[in-house]
Amino acid sequence: MKVLLSKLSLFSIVCTLLLAACVMPSANSGAAPAAGAAQPAAATSVINVYTDGDTNISDWFANIVKPAFEKKYPQYSVNFVTVRGVGEGTKTIADRALAAMKTNADPQAEVLDFDALGYPEMIEAGLWQKLDETNVPNAKDVVKAARTTEFSMAYRGSQVLIAYDSSKVPENEVPKTFADLITWIKAHPGQFAYCRPDKGGSGGNFVDRAIYEVTGKDPTIFKAGPVDPALVSKFDDAWALLRDIHPAIYDNGSYPAGNNPSLQLLANGSVSMISAWSDQSLQALSKGVLPDTVKLYQFTDLPMPGGYAPLSVPKNAKNMKGALDFVNFMLSQEMQISVLKDIGGFPAVEWATLPKDLQSQFTSVITNQVPTWPGGAWSAARDKGWYEKVATNIDPNSK
Domain ranges in the chain are 43-156+308-355, 159-306+361-389
Secondary structure letter of residue 63 according to DSSP: I
Rounded to 10 deg, the angle between the 377-389 and 201-214 helix axes is 90
Superfamily of domain 43-156+308-355: Periplasmic binding protein-like II (3.40.190.10)
The pLDDT of residue 30:
37
What local confidence, expressed as pLDDT, does residue 368 receive? 67
**Which candidate, 300, 283, 307, places its Cα nearest to that of 366?**
300
Distance in angstroms (rounded) separating the CA atoms of residues 32 and 145: 37
Axis crossing angle, helix 278-286 with helix 333-343, rounded to the nearest 10? 70
230, 231, 235, 238 alpha-carbon torsion, rounded to 10°: 130
In sequence order, the β-bridge partners of residue 46 are 77
Q: Which residues contact 347 (CB under 8 A, 6 or more apart)?
A: 156, 157, 336, 337, 339, 340, 354
Task: Please tell me the pTM assigned to this model.
Answer: 0.74
Q: Do the domains at 43-156+308-355 and 159-306+361-389 have one common CATH topology?
A: yes
Per-residue confidence (pLDDT) for residue 16, from 0 to 100: 36
CB atoms within 10 A of CB 1: 2
Q: Specify whether domain 159-306+361-389 bears CATH 3.40.190.10.
A: yes
d(CA 17, CA 154) in angstroms, rounded, equals 43
CA distances from 238 to 198, 243, 252, 317 (A): 16, 8, 19, 47
Among 57, 51, 52, which Cα is nearest to 279's? 57
* Gap between the Cα atoms of 105 and 97, Å rounded: 9
Cα atoms found within 13 Å of the Cα of residue 67, Cβ hemisphere only: 6
Measured CA to CA in angstroms, residue 371 lies from 159, 179, 212 at distances of 9, 17, 10
R_g (Cα) of the chain, nearest Å: 25
Segments of the chain with pLDDT less than 70: 1-43, 364, 366, 368
For the chain, helix (H) and strand (E) counts, in that order, are 16, 9
Q: What single-letter amino acid sits at 197?
A: P
